[in-house]
Structure 1
Amino acid sequence: MSEIDAIKERHSVRNYTPERIQAEKIVKLNEKIRELNEAGNIHLQLIEDAGNTYNKLFNRVAGLGSAPSVIACVGPDDETLEQRIGYYGERLVLFAQTLGLNTCWAGTFNKKNIGADIRAGERIVISIAIGYGDGKGKPHKSKTMEQVIDAKGDRPYWFNKGVEMALLAPTAINQQKFLIRLNEDETVDFVDKGGVFSQVDLGIVKCHFEIGSEREVTI
């Protein structure tokens, strides 16, 4: 499965079966995590037993209490951390999709119970529930391309393809509060329009745009 296929097939899943992730997939996930942690200067951690991470009432109502495992999204606390978590965390989410696993970005969780290793100078930003979904999730309602771009004149194919994939990016409460600007020199700017976890969202959007456009973005 290509990353484009993974983007198209992946939807947020909040309800999970009791099945544990097989050992060989755990190995592959941890190998990918090591690669992404090194590339992004972050500290993603796969915690096989989610335990009471999602024991809050909101999580139980939403179904996340059934998630067997969780990814703790941790990293050195600086002004770029949330974007880096979004970008590299989504790389991991898409990799998990290629392994037949389902995921859900979750900002509401029990930080005391997640069991993450948070070192001096680090901060936990968000969590990702992971396991085998009781269903594959559903596509979210999306804005149109024209609602999220600022571009004058003809738009190159690569830009349109990047925006198409960006519109499939998961964002907090499906807010899609971002703008993608095409400059005259064909450089691209990503604008954060605010909102809860908007910097994490922007990192995820950049990940999708990069995959769709096949042009490197700056994190």
Structure 2
Amino acid sequence: MTEIEAIKARHSVRSYKPQMIEPEKIIQLRAKVSELNAESGLHLQFIEDAGRIYNNLINRARGLGSAPSVIACVGRASDDLEQKIGYYGEKLVLFAQSLGLNTCWTGGFNHKTISAEVAPDEKLVIAIAIGYGKDQGKVRKSKTFEQVVEAAGERPDWFNQGVEMALLAPTAINQQKFVIKFADGEKVEFIDKGGPFSKVDIGIVKCHFEIGSGKKI
């Protein structure tokens, strides 16, 4: 499965089967985590047993209490930490999709019960539920191309393809509070319009755009 195929196949899943992830897939996930941490300087962590991190009433009602495993998104505090978490966390999400696993970005979880390592100079930003979903999720309503793009003049195909994939990016509460600006035939800028976890969202959007456009921004 290519990354573009993974983007098109992947939807947020909040209800999971009791089935644990197989040891061979855990090995692949841990290897991918190590690769992404080495590239980014982050401290992403795959935690095989999610335990009780989704034990509050809202998460149980949504089905997240059934998630068998979790990815803790941790990194050193910095101005770009949240965006970096979104970018590299989404790379891990798409890799998990290629393994036949399902995921859900989760901002609400029990920070006291998650068994993540967080150094004094680090921050636990967000978590990603991971396992085998009871279904494959569903397509969410999306904004249009015109609602998220600011561009003057002709737009090249690579830009349009990038936006197409960006519109499939998961965002908090499906808010899609971002704008993609295009200028001078090559300059791309991602604008954060604010809201819960919007900086994380920008990182996810940027990841999708780069995969769709085939360009490093």
Please report the TM-score for the alignment, with normalisation by the length of structure 2.
0.99
Question: Which residue identity does 2:25 align to in structure 1?
Answer: K
For 1:38, the equivalent position in structure 2 comes to: 38
C-alpha distance in structure 2 between counterparts of 1:57 and 1:39, whole Å = 37
> Where do 1:28-177 residues align within 5 Å?
28-177=28-177
Partner Cα separation in structure 2 for residue 166 and residue 211 of structure 1: 9
Q: Deviations over 1:38-71 (max 9, x none)?
A: 1111000011000001001111111100000000
TM-score, normalising length: structure 1:
0.98
Indicate the residue corresponding to 1:215 in structure 2: 215
Cα distance between partner residues in 2 of 1:61 and 1:155: 44
Tell me which stretches of 4 or more aligned residues in structure 1 moved more than 4 Å: none
Structure 2 distance, partners of 1:139, 1:122, is 34
Identity %: 65
What amino acid sits opposite 1:154 in the alignment?
A: E
Structure 2: unaligned runs, 5 residues or longer: none
Cα shift readout 1:67-116 (whole Å, capped 9, x = no counterpart): 00000000001111000000000000000000000000000000010110
Cα shift at 1:184: 1.3
Deviations, residues 175-219 of structure 1 (Å, cap 9, x unaligned): 0000000011411000000000000000000000000000102xx
Cα root mean square deviation, aligned: 0.6
| Mapped partners of 1:128, 1:103: distance in 2 | 6
Q: How many residues align?
A: 217
Question: In 1, Cα distance between the equivalents of 2:33 and 2:124?
Answer: 16
Gaps of 5+ in 1: none
Counterpart CA distance in 2 for 1:77 and 1:104 is 23
Counterparts of 1:7 and 1:185, CA distance in 2 = 26
Mapped contact 2:14–2:62 kept (Cα < 8 A): yes
